[in-house]
Amino acid sequence: MIRKAILFAGCALWMLVTATVSAQQKIVVFQSDFGLKDGAVSAMKGVASTVSTDLKLYDITHEIPAYNIWEAAYRLEQTVPYWPTGTVFVSVVDPGVGTERKSVVLKTNTGQFIVTPDNGTLTLVAASLGIAEVREIDETVNRRKDSQQSYTFHGRDVYAYTAARLAAGAITYEQVGPRLPNEVVRIPYQAAVLEGHIIKGSIAVLDVQYGNLWTNIRRDLFQQLSPQYGDVVHLTVLHKGMLVYKGDAPYSQTFGAVAKGKPLSYLNSLLDLSFALNQASFAAVYHIGSGPDWSVEVGITHKK
């Protein structure tokens, strides 16, 4: 009996250690709207390294347009699913820094952690990956030493510090702070839905290098219109409900399927329906933006 008890205890300890390791990969991934012109990003990484030099520090981007919470939300959704369980993300696009907005750590249903202000940044990840748990950061414990007089750089003093402690195993997730209801601040937007023979959605983001329009219409929803390459996709773009563009774009496998400067529709690398001009910027030519105020309606005419 004693031997069995020892064996059982050993197995339980092994399971506990394994669970801890899987939840804390020593990986921290940063994004912000800071840019790289000054030392802000380096300061955050310096704080994280001070917590533990064993951490592996990476970036999503620091070129989020200033104050653009929606794009921060999109870049998280674009990136988080490709990182291992236990990865800790820091997202700092925080026009309300120093105000009453909550500082939180969300754990997704897929096991990643996101340290951020609860200001809408979690809108898309909460919808696509789900919320396993949300905790508010207890700044009496999880704040860089001697930083209490600083009110405008929570990315350095609170978020990078808390993320590093969590990723390094210096604190457990429960020690981040009190648990909150499994809900976050959400930015209203047009979710992708099929209504009759029309799909309604939004322009989630622009392919910033080329000016293509990336919608939130996933491949599986678009497939309900039974598209074939060469079919004509009818696109209507609205900004705050006002018509901005209406036109046709053949459904294409490659950009070269249409002449230079001509429109096409295609599935991007995330398998979302997108629109482009071959070797030109759709967004610039037609003065189209992205975000929750930009919606689309999509129909299709099948080739004969």
- How do residues 44-55 score in pLDDT, each as one tens digit? 999 999 999 999
Each domain of the chain, given as residue ranges in start order, spans 22-180, 193-301
pLDDT of residue 139: 87
Distance CA 250, CA 284 (A): 20
7-21, 79-93, 171-185, range with the lowest pLDDT: 7-21
Residue-wise pLDDT for 61-71, tens only, equals 999 999 999 99
Percent of the chain whose predicted confidence (pLDDT) is above 90: 82
pLDDT of residue 100: 79
pLDDT band of 97, cuts 50, 70, 90: confident
pLDDT of residue 143: 80
State both tokens at 197. Answer: 């023979």
This prediction's pTM: 0.86
41-55, 97-111, 251-265, 282-296, range with the lowest pLDDT: 97-111
193-301: CATH topology is Elongation Factor Tu (Ef-tu); domain 3 (2.40.30)
22-180: CATH topology is Rossmann fold (3.40.50)
Task: Please state the rounded mean pLDDT for residues 24-38.
Answer: 92
pLDDT of residue 72: 97
Task: Please state the rounded mean pLDDT for residues 214-222.
Answer: 97
